[in-house]
Each structure stands twice: as C-alpha cells, then as structure tokens.
C-alpha cells in the first residue's frame, strides 16, 4: 500500500478546505491508528471526514459537497441512500435484527440470484467479500481433495491468508514474467508461498505451463474477470477468460470467479453473463447490497455437495443472512437493478467515459481510458495496460497522484484515496451531474498538462 505525498501548496489548500476533518483526525488517532477503520482510507496528511451522502454526492464535515465516484468502492450501485433500500430495511427492522433461524425472504433472495446466475444451483449468504472468498476456497479444497490455489499477480481478493500472496509486489521481488514468484504479505505464514501459484493476468501460455506442472495439486484458480484493484481497470483480452475456463475444466481445477466488484455492475448477471462464462463458484458482495454488508457464494450442484449437511464443509456465521441486509439486497435487486436499469447504467457509464475520452483527445494527452459500462479508469500511460506489471512499470505515478488531489479540490472524488482504484458511475449520476464532473476533469487535466505533470 502506498500513500499520496503532495506539494506544500496543494497541502495548504487541502488543509484550508478540511479544518474540521483535521480536528476529528487528531481526536481519532488518540484511540485508532490513522483514524480510519479500513487501512486503505488513510492518506497523507489526514483523511477527510464525511457527514452524509445523497445520490451522487457526499458531504464532508466542513460542508464541502463532492461528486462521488468512489461510491463505496463500487457498492453504491444506485448512489447514496437509495429510498427503496432504506424503506425496505425500515419495513423489516421491526421484525427483529437477527432472527437466526431461516426465513422466507432468504429463499426469495437466493432465487433471485439463481435467476441471474442460472449455472449455479444455489447460493449461501455471508457478510463481506473476504468471508465469501474464504468459503469459496475452502469449498474448492474439499471438493477436489487438493490444496493449492492459482492466483493472478496483483489482484486483491480481501483479507483471507492465501489470497494475500502476491497481492502487491515490487519488481525486485516478482521473478520472471512466465513464472512470477509467490510473495506473502506481512502477517501471512511463509508456507503460503508454496500453496499459492501465481500467474500474470492475460497470459494464457504461462497458465497452461503452470496447470501442466501442478494440475494434480491445484484445487482452484481464483480470478477477477476484470482487474479492478491496484491497477485501476484491466480488461481481459479477447477470448482470455473462455480459454482459462476451458483449461481449468479440462484439468479438473475449479474456477472461482471473484465478482465482488463486477457483480451487478457488468450487467444483470454480472461479468459471468457479460463474458458468457460458466464458473464453478462465484463470489458476490458490494453492489449486491447496494451499501450494506452482504456477500454471497454461488456454487454448482456438484460443488454444493460439500456443504454440511450434504457434506463436510461448515459454512457458518452468526450474522449470515440477517434480515437487515437480506431485505436491503432483495429490494436492491428487485426494485432497482432490473434489466432495464442495467441498460440505463451502461448508458450513463458510456456517456461519462465518452466525455473523458473527448477531454483526453481535445487536450492531446498521452493518457488512455479502460472501461466497461459503469466502471473504469483513466490510465496515466500511453496504452491500456495488460497486467499488473505493465501498470507498475509504465505509469506516470506523479501525474496520477496529483490528479487525485486536484480533483478533490475541484470537489470530484474520481476514485478512492489509494493507488489503483477504478471510478464507479451509479444510477444516481444523471447526465447533468456527469457533465459537471467531465468539465471539472477537463479543467484538471488541462492544469496538469500546463504544469508539466502529464
């Protein structure tokens, strides 16, 4: 994880805009390192503190209103505080916050998920993406009777130990292009470097060799269909995902598709539908709940056999399927994210990306944009990246970071305050809001160009 370092001039503007945030920060750090509850929210000199969100906007405690494209790191697919979700939670609140035993709405939610992921026999509900990834990996190990996992270099899948291997690596650590080294993150036992085999995204030839070498030991490959952490946004090359799927199937290795960011964003049936895939296990979170902590693991009929009472895997959690989040997710899927609204989301995303591309062209900049529908990233490099290494080696990091703070000052939160987050357009980002954001982005890019940052 790296944090931004800004010039004194920019810092003084930031500080003058965020005086109350600074006061809260000083108080917060007396009892909590960095004052944040997820480390990726901290940045130098201190994070801004927020007051409320509504639609496409978020207000900080100093009363500044920002056009928000962080959107809960992708969760807020319908913007901040969507009425349908709030009313649904209110409606169920009086019945109890944790009913423990099963109830009908859980069945309805899972039926809705199966409708969108018809290759799945069913889903189990959990709370966060991290947990869902953990369940998915353990289920794959039991199903196959093998322990190793294949993972893509530079991908983030949450905080479970094996996926912390080569989550972020530096050139001095990463080994050859064909056989990247497995490198554990701080706090993760070294033996995971043996258990997790790493491959580069979009490199089918290396994957073929790795599968050939380890096929009898590998339970599953976990991957994001589109890389949306650490690198902004990297699209799979034409046919790549289908080739991965075929190769894994031929070798009895399960495909775990991590749709935490792509699910309900790339379309009605997520990236699975968008790319025409048939994963064995799919992991959903973020936009599933539209802003509440819920995740789900989907599995085929065969894989479902490992879950207790059918099999040995105890998929458990006190808060799994609690009515607050289940009611929110059900309202989100049935009242907001209908097929038509997905088309609308794509139109808004295309409109925004088109405006940004026009700005890049008009200003004659050597920047690129990668996007699919309502998520994407401006790349501070002259080509669309193909994998994590491409980004690390070729990015104009100084220009990229400077763009973040300049946009903040213009009250646009284009992405999270950590390197490599995409932007997220929501259904609440109507065209007038997007026009305003595009104008501010244009002005910022012009400033950066005139001052030699890009």
Residues forming the site for ligand PMP (CB under 6 A):
73, 128-130, 133, 156-158, 224, 229, 258, 260-261, 285
Residue 265: C-alpha distances to residues 133, 252, 288 (Å): 19, 29, 9
Q: How far apart are CA 333 and CA 292, in angstroms?
A: 13
Determine contact, residues 336/84, Cβ cutoff 8 Å. Answer: yes
Q: How far apart are CA 108 and CA 100, in angstroms?
A: 17
Q: What is the nearest approach in angstroms of ligand PMP to the Cβ of residue 224?
A: 5
295-299 vs 122-126, strand pairing mode: antiparallel
Question: Smaller CB distance to ligand PMP: residue 82 or 158?
Answer: 158
Question: Smaller CB distance to ligand PMP: residue 38 or 450?
Answer: 38
Q: What is the nearest approach in angstroms of ligand PMP to the Cβ of residue 282?
A: 12
Question: Smaller CB distance to ligand PMP: residue 120 or 365?
Answer: 120
Q: What is the nearest approach in angstroms of ligand PMP to the Cβ of residue 78?
A: 18
Determine contact, residues 231/388, Cβ cutoff 8 Å. Answer: yes
Q: Which two tokens stand for residue 233?
A: 């946004």
Residue 332: C-alpha distances to residues 55, 179, 276 (Å): 15, 42, 24
3-state secondary structure of 292: coil
Question: Smaller CB distance to ligand PMP: residue 224 or 280?
Answer: 224
Residue 55: C-alpha distances to residues 68, 82, 263, 337, 439 (Å): 9, 7, 20, 15, 19
Q: How far apart are CA 81 and CA 78, in angstroms?
A: 8
Q: What is the nearest approach in angstroms of ligand PMP to the Cβ of residue 186?
A: 18
State phi, psi for 43 to the nearest 5 degrees: -155, 165
Q: Is the dihedral of CA 109, 113, 119, 120 positive or negative?
A: negative
Question: Smaller CB distance to ligand PMP: residue 203 or 224?
Answer: 224
Determine contact, residues 438/362, Cβ cutoff 8 Å. Answer: no
Q: What is the nearest approach in angstroms of ligand PMP to the Cβ of residue 155?
A: 7
Q: What is the nearest approach in angstroms of ligand PMP to the Cβ of residue 418?
A: 10
Q: What is the nearest approach in angstroms of ligand PMP to the Cβ of residue 295?
A: 6
Question: Smaller CB distance to ligand PMP: residue 232 or 355?
Answer: 232
Q: What is the nearest approach in angstroms of ligand PMP to the Cβ of residue 157?
A: 4
Task: Quote the crossing angle between the two packed helices 397-409 and 431-450, to the nearest 10°.
Answer: 130
Question: Smaller CB distance to ligand PMP: residue 285 or 428?
Answer: 285
State phi, psi for 441 to the nearest 5 degrees: -65, -45
Between CA 79 and CA 85, with CA 83 as vertex, the angle to 5 degrees is 85
Question: Smaller CB distance to ligand PMP: residue 257 or 428?
Answer: 257
Helix (H) or strand (E) holding 438: helix 431-450
Distance between the two ends of the chain, CA-based, in angstroms?
23
Question: Smaller CB distance to ligand PMP: residue 131 or 280?
Answer: 131
Question: Smaller CB distance to ligand PMP: residue 283 or 433?
Answer: 283
Lookup result for tokens 């290795």? 253
3-state secondary structure of 15: helix
Q: What is the nearest approach in angstroms of ligand PMP to the Cβ of residue 227?
A: 9
Determine contact, residues 416/67, Cβ cutoff 8 Å. Answer: no
- Sheet with strand 295-299: strands edge to edge: 122-126, 295-299, 281-284, 254-258, 218-223, 148-152, 196-199
Question: Smaller CB distance to ligand PMP: residue 261 or 386?
Answer: 261
Q: Which residue is nearest to ligand PMP (CB)?
A: 129
Q: What is the nearest approach in angstroms of ligand PMP to the Cβ of residue 122?
A: 21
Q: What is the nearest approach in angstroms of ligand PMP to the Cβ of residue 53?
A: 18
Q: How far apart are CA 301 and CA 305, in angstroms?
A: 7
């Amino acid at each position: 994880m790296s944090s931004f370092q800004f010039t004194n001039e920019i810092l003084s503007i930031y500080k003058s805009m965020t005086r109350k945030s600074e006061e809260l920060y000083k108080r917060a750090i007396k009892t909590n390192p960095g004052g944040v509850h997820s480390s990726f929210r901290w940045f130098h000199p201190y994070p801004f503190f927020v007051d409320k969100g509504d639609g496409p906007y978020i207000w900080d405690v100093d009363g500044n209103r920002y056009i928000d494209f962080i959107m809960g790191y992708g969760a807020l697919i319908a913007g901040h505080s969507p009425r349908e979700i709030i009313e649904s939670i209110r409606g169920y609140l009086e019945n109890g916050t944790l009913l423990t035993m099963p109830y009908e709405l859980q069945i309805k939610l899972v039926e809705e998920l199966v409708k969108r992921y018809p290759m799945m026999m069913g889903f189990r509900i959990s709370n966060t993406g991290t947990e869902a990834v953990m369940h998915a990996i353990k289920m794959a190990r039991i199903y196959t009777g093998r322990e190793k996992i294949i993972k893509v270099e530079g991908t983030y899948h949450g905080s479970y130990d094996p996926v912390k291997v080569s989550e972020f690596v530096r050139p001095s650590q990463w080994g050859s292009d064909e056989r990247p080294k497995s490198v554990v993150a701080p706090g993760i036992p070294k033996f995971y470097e043996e258990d997790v085999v790493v491959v580069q995204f979009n490199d089918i030839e290396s994957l073929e060799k790795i599968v050939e070498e380890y096929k009898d030991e590998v339970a599953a490959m976990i991957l994001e269909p589109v890389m949306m952490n650490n690198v902004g946004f990297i699209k799979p090359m034409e046919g790549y995902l289908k080739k991965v799927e075929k190769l894994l199937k031929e070798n009895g290795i399960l495909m775990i598709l991590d749709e935490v960011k792509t699910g309900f964003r790339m379309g009605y049936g997520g990236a699975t539908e968008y790319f025409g895939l048939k994963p064995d296990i799919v992991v959903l979170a973020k936009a599933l709940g539209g802003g509440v902590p819920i995740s789900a693991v989907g599995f085929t009929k065969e894989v479902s056999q490992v879950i207790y009472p059918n099999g040995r895997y105890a998929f458990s959690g006190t808060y799994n399927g609690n009515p607050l989040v289940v009611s929110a997710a059900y309202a989100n899927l049935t009242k907001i994210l209908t097929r038509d609204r997905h088309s609308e989301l794509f139109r808004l995303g295309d409109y925004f990306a088109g405006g940004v591309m026009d700005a890049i062209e008009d200003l004659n900049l050597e920047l690129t944009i990668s996007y699919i529908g309502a998520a994407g990233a401006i790349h501070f490099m002259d080509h669309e990246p193909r994998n994590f290494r491409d980004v690390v080696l070729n990015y104009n990091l100084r220009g990229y970071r400077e763009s973040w703070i300049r946009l903040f000052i213009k009250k646009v939160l284009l992405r999270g305050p950590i390197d490599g987050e995409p932007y997220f357009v929501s259904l609440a980002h109507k065209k007038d809001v997007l026009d305003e954001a595009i104008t501010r982005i244009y002005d910022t890019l012009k400033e950066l160009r005139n001052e030699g940052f890009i």
